[in-house]
Amino acid sequence: MSLKTPLLATVCNAIFQWMAQQEPGKKLHLDRRELFISLRRSIRSRAVLKAMERVPRELFVPTSERLNAYMNVALAVGKGQTISQPYIVALITEALRLQPTDRVLEVGAGSGYQAAVLAELVPDGNVVTVELILSLARRARGILDDLGYKNVVVEDATEILGFPGGGQYDAIVVSAAAPSLPRSLAAQLAVGGRMVVPVGDRDRQELICVLRTGEGVSFRMLGPCRFVPLLGCEGFPSSS
């Protein structure tokens, strides 16, 4: 009996360790399934949902948050920044009505997740995403490279909002809250282009979809939201 007891204990420990390793994967799988069931009730674009299903969101969040990757909530990614909740990502992306050859600009790369979703929808176009925080830009660049996104470029932000050196864009996403509609970004939008930007104060904003036409711009309200503040040019003062 004394010979069998250590062996039994070893086998039991191995089983318990294996079960513990399976639980995180099981939770991610179940949460992911429930998330997309929920999104299908409110998001009409099947192309957007399929794009989001192809992007492994768990790789864009810190290790400490991976078990929560498919919860429908925003998650911290460091340096005071967040990865937006999946519903907001889907809502923004759907409003852009992207075409495969579109050129897209994102202001505020953060984790790189939104850029990956955008890249899935413009396989024959490209995405330029700019980030003010250098460490986040490096991390996003590394993840996107590792996942093989060849049509995404992560640029370090400058004093000029956006990336005017890239010409005009068919779509622009602002992944941070602005106190008013950024005029410099509207100027970087091609005629017929769409821009989604959260506008308001630091605590509450309205998600606005802007359409640039030959006569000017038109607006469509997408609903209330809460984003981290846009800092610097046409944003909020960093000291407030």
Residues listed for the chain: 240
Q: Find, among 68, 75, 101, 103, the residue nearest to 89 by Cα.
A: 75
The per-residue b/e assignment along 192-212, b for 16 or more CB within 10 angstroms, e otherwise, is: ebbbbbbbbeeeebebbbbbb
Q: Which of 84, 111, 238, 239 is catalytic?
A: 84
Q: How far, in Å, CA of 12 to CA of 171, rounded?
A: 56
Phi, psi of 117 (to 5 degrees): -65, -45
Give the CA angle between residues 102, 147, 17 to the nearest 5°: 145
- Strands 205-213 and 189-200, bridge-based pairing: antiparallel
Interacting residues of 10 by C-beta distance below 8 A, sequence separation 6+: none
Q: Encoding tokens for residue 56?
A: 């492994």
Residue 84 designated active-site: yes
3-class SS shares of the chain: helix, strand, coil, % to 5? 40, 25, 30
- Whether residue 35 contacts residue 68, with contact meaning beta carbons closer than 8 Å, is answered with no
CA trace torsion 192, 202, 71, 59 (10° rounding): 70
Q: Residues with catalytic annotation?
A: 84
